[in-house]
Structure 1
């Protein structure tokens, strides 16, 4: 028995354990792993230990302490979920960017050094003969190496708009040259 309290904690617990369930229900908390119940029990224990009879009714103090501890735990769980969500988003962004950039530390290996079969080589040589040097740079980097416009511009020392213009003119030339028909003929 505590010197401040007339009853043991076991007796107080038997009389007040429903308060924890009441607050869990009132706050609409889903507690499948009994985390919130344990937090409420701990709050009740702390309230029992720190209760001063001359400052108010014990049940009011229990209600206040349990409710606020449960709300604090809800906020903590919410912050953890937000942080986990932000972390998952950041990992997703890094994975996407690594796959998009295709640098040596990327998740998808760089396959530019793998030899292409003869028919593919002939097609790319034909495409190269149809376009200008700057247009071929766009075809090679954007289509073959899967680089972004910004990356091509940085590598070539030009603007993104210039790279887009090269791409637009290359597509136009290849359409005019009937590249689609040539590709269908190879099937």
Structure 2
């Protein structure tokens, strides 16, 4: 190899050292169908050409060092990206397959996970539950107590939004009736 004089252009250096890039790709057992690693090696060769200082050592050794390390850095970067994608994919699959979801039309929706609620008077809610239908109670439980959106209730219960709204209308109608309060034994 010649010393990097200012007479030597990058084209000349490239023609003399292009095989180094291929050598390191082969030596590191890199599959490069899209020539990404070759391009990275080419950039490394350019940077080495620009930054080479003849008093620091042989140009060939410096080129080998820079090209090899840039290729290894690129392998590490791609490996980190693949590991990140695998972790994200695994996390998503865990969320979908943990058993706490409802599938509807090839889409998975999480089930409502109701935290422990502090209900002021459980007896009051129990009396109300006895007087309501199962669907009306679901509306009270999920929408009123659990603050769950109507659309999510419809998905969870595998019904329409209109049906859930209807449950709510029936509950409100019952609660507006003063005779209903007497049945519930509520003193409001």
Q: Structure 2-normalised TM-score?
A: 0.53
The structure 2 residue matched to 1:109, chosen from 151, 155, 165, is 155
5+ residue gaps, structure 2, are 103-109, 113-147, 161-188
Partners of 2:65 and 2:24 in 1: CA distance: 10
Which residue pairs with 1:127 in the alignment? none
CA shift digits 1:7-49 (9 cap, x unpaired): 0000000010000000000000000110100000000000000
Contact 1:4 1:52 in 2 (8 A): no
Which residue pairs with 1:35 in the alignment? 36
Which residue pairs with 2:88 in the alignment? 87
Q: Name the SS of the counterpart of 1:30 in structure 2.
A: coil
Contact 1:44 1:65 in 2 (8 A): yes
- Quickly say closer, same or farther: Cα 1:5–1:56, change in 2 above 3 A: farther
Which residue pairs with 2:57 in the alignment? 56
- Quickly say closer, same or farther: Cα 1:113–1:36, change in 2 above 3 A: closer
How far off is 1:79 after superposition?
0.3
Q: Matches of residues 3-152 of structure 1 in structure 2 within 5 Å?
A: 5-97=6-98, 98-99=100-101, 102-103=111-112, 109-111=155-157
How far off is 1:5 after superposition?
3.4
- Quickly say closer, same or farther: Cα 1:96–1:11, change in 2 above 3 A: same
Which residue pairs with 1:132 in the alignment? none
5+ residue gaps, structure 1, are 115-187
Q: Name the SS of the counterpart of 2:68 in structure 1.
A: helix
Count how many residue pairs are aligned between Structure 1 and Structure 2: 111
Q: Name the SS of the counterpart of 1:7 in structure 2.
A: coil
Partners of 2:158 and 2:21 in 1: CA distance: 64
Structure 1 or 2: more helix by fraction: 1
Partners of 2:54 and 2:17 in 1: CA distance: 17
- Quickly say closer, same or farther: Cα 1:102–1:16, change in 2 above 3 A: same
How far off is 1:91 after superposition?
1.1
Q: Name the SS of the counterpart of 1:109 in structure 2.
A: helix
Partners of 2:13 and 2:51 in 1: CA distance: 14
Partners of 1:24 and 1:5 in 2: CA distance: 29
Partners of 2:19 and 2:63 in 1: CA distance: 11
How far off is 1:112 after superposition?
6.2
- Quickly say closer, same or farther: Cα 1:22–1:112, change in 2 above 3 A: closer
